Amino acid sequence: MRLNSPQINIITKACRRASRSLIRDFGEIENLQVSSKGPGDFVTSADKRTEKIIIEELLKAHPEYGIISEEAGVINKSNINNRWIIDPIDGTTNFLNGVPQFAISIGYEEDNEIKCGVIYDPIKDEMFLAEKGNGAYLNNSRIRVSNKKRLKDSLLVTGGPKHSSKIKESVFSEFINVSNKVLFPIRKFGSAALDIAYVACGRFDGYWQREINYWDIAAGIIILKEAGGYIDFFEHDNQVPLKKNILASNSIIHEELRDLIIKKNIE
Ligand code: IPD
Ligand code: CA
Ligand code: CA
């Protein structure tokens, strides 16, 4: 594998270390599900434990870099040129319910551009990683997006809306609208990071979601781009910092899918 930046090495090491405690915690979930207290508080602490290990590793390597992390928020606010963007567990609802579909996601950003990133599924031991200009990999194998040519034949995945979302109805009508144009039923796997990673390696042909947070997609952005895919923050300025809409797909179906999503909202 030809990924060799110091940052990618730091991220992979942090993922490996944090995943040991994450796997142990996931093993506890089954017991907690049958207990009267339930797994809720435990998952919150598993999230924080994982995040703490990751942040410790990253700060050890670069105490001067900034950090945006889902649970801890913004650390080292003054350094916005070099930042780690962390989601310690992406797919918390899956984790909480004992479903093995979640990942650690860490991106590295320089001057507002993601330069490298890792999405690590500790249960399947699948590490998706990429570095600007050097390609995207799944473990040691180079990955590429699919070459599916017709939207109609594409396998798509989406996520949301959250319980608190104010745009639930339009999200559902968008879903119906897109599902009428594709033969395969649309997937919903519950981890945005893995959804994008699966588009990057050609398992899915496209992923879209509204109201996504930056930490859900930071690593996915570079992995998808380096795998030859196309990313679009439709209806949002690329500079909008934390909440975004996202469409990630192979570049062949991109335009058709984008038109479908945007047109529906104009009608
Ligand atoms: C969530 C997952 C989910 C997506 C949500 C995210 P979390 O992240 O990525 O797939 O639909 O919008 O918030 O809460 O599990 O880290
Ligand atoms: Ca997330
Ligand atoms: Ca999370």
Least confident of 2-6, 33-37, 113-117, 124-128: 33-37
Ligand nearest to the CA of 93: 1
Residue nearest to atom 14 of ligand 1 (CA): 92
* pLDDT tens figures, 44-59: 889 999 999 999 999 9
Beta carbons within 8 Å of 137's beta carbon, 6+ residues apart = 1, 3, 127, 128, 129, 130, 143
Q: What is the average per-residue pLDDT within 217-233?
A: 96
The single-letter code of the amino acid at 243 is: K
Ligand nearest to the CA of 190: 1
Strands 66-69 and 103-110: unpaired
216, 217, 242, best to mutate for ligand 1 pocket (most atoms within 8 Å of CB): 216
Between CA 224 and CA 251 the distance in angstroms is 11
pLDDT at 267: 46
Distance 148 CA to ligand 2 centre (A): 28
Tell whether ligand 1 has an atom less than 6 A from the beta carbon of residue 191.
yes
Identify the burial level of 2 via C-beta atoms within 10 angstroms of its C-beta, where 0-12 means exposed, 13-18 middle and 19 or more buried: exposed
Between CA 134 and CA 262 the distance in angstroms is 33
168, 191, 245, best to mutate for ligand 1 pocket (most atoms within 8 Å of CB): 191
Shortest-distance atom of ligand 1 to CA 193: 9
* pLDDT tens figures, 128-184: 999 999 999 999 999 999 999 999 999 999 999 989 899 999 999 999 999 999 999
Between CA 112 and CA 108 the distance in angstroms is 10
Distance 58 CA to ligand 3 centre (A): 18
Nearest in space to 40 (alpha carbons), one of 51, 49, 29 = 29
pLDDT at 34: 65
Judge whether residue 60 has pLDDT over 70. Answer: yes
Nearest in space to 205 (alpha carbons), one of 181, 223, 230 = 230
Total-model pTM? 0.95
Distance 102 CA to ligand 3 centre (A): 9
Domains of the chain: 6-142 (3.30.540.10), 151-261 (3.40.190.80)
71, 85, 89, 90, best to mutate for ligand 1 pocket (most atoms within 8 Å of CB): 90
* pLDDT tens figures, 10-20: 999 999 999 99
Residue 120's DSSP bridge partners are: 104, 127
Identify the burial level of 196 via C-beta atoms within 10 angstroms of its C-beta, where 0-12 means exposed, 13-18 middle and 19 or more buried: buried
* pLDDT tens figures, 91-143: 999 999 999 999 999 999 999 999 999 999 999 999 999 999 999 999 999 99
Residue 84's DSSP bridge partners are: 67, 108
Distance 149 CA to ligand 1 centre (A): 29
Between CA 240 and CA 188 the distance in angstroms is 25
Between CA 106 and CA 68 the distance in angstroms is 10
pLDDT at 239: 57
Judge whether residue 266 has pLDDT over 70. Answer: no
Q: What is the average per-residue pLDDT within 241-264?
A: 87
Residue nearest to atom 5 of ligand 1 (CA): 160
User: Please, what is the average pLDDT of the chain?
Assistant: 92
pLDDT at 40: 74
Hey, what are 205's tokens? Answer: 């042909």
Contacts within 8 Å (CB) and 24+ apart, 21-24: 21/46, 21/49, 21/50, 21/53, 22/46, 22/50, 22/89, 22/104, 22/122, 23/122, 23/123
Tell whether ligand 1 has an atom less than 6 A from the beta carbon of residue 107.
no
Q: What is the average per-residue pLDDT within 197-206?
A: 98
pLDDT at 262: 84
Beta strands in 91-225 (DSSP E): 103-110, 113-121, 126-131, 136-138, 141-142, 156-158, 206-213
* pLDDT tens figures, 226-242: 999 999 988 766 554 56
pLDDT at 250: 96
- State how far the alpha carbon of 246 is from the alpha carbons of 51, 104, 230, 258, in Å: 25, 19, 10, 10
pLDDT at 70: 94
pLDDT at 42: 76
Reduced to 3 states, what is the DSSP secondary structure of residue 201? coil
* Residues around the ion ligand 2 (C-beta < 5 A): 87, 90, 216
Tell whether ligand 1 has an atom less than 6 A from the beta carbon of residue 190.
yes
Judge whether residue 219 has pLDDT over 80. Answer: yes
The single-letter code of the amino acid at 253 is: I
Distance 2 CA to ligand 1 centre (A): 31
Reduced to 3 states, what is the DSSP secondary structure of residue 154? coil
Distance 87 CA to ligand 3 centre (A): 5
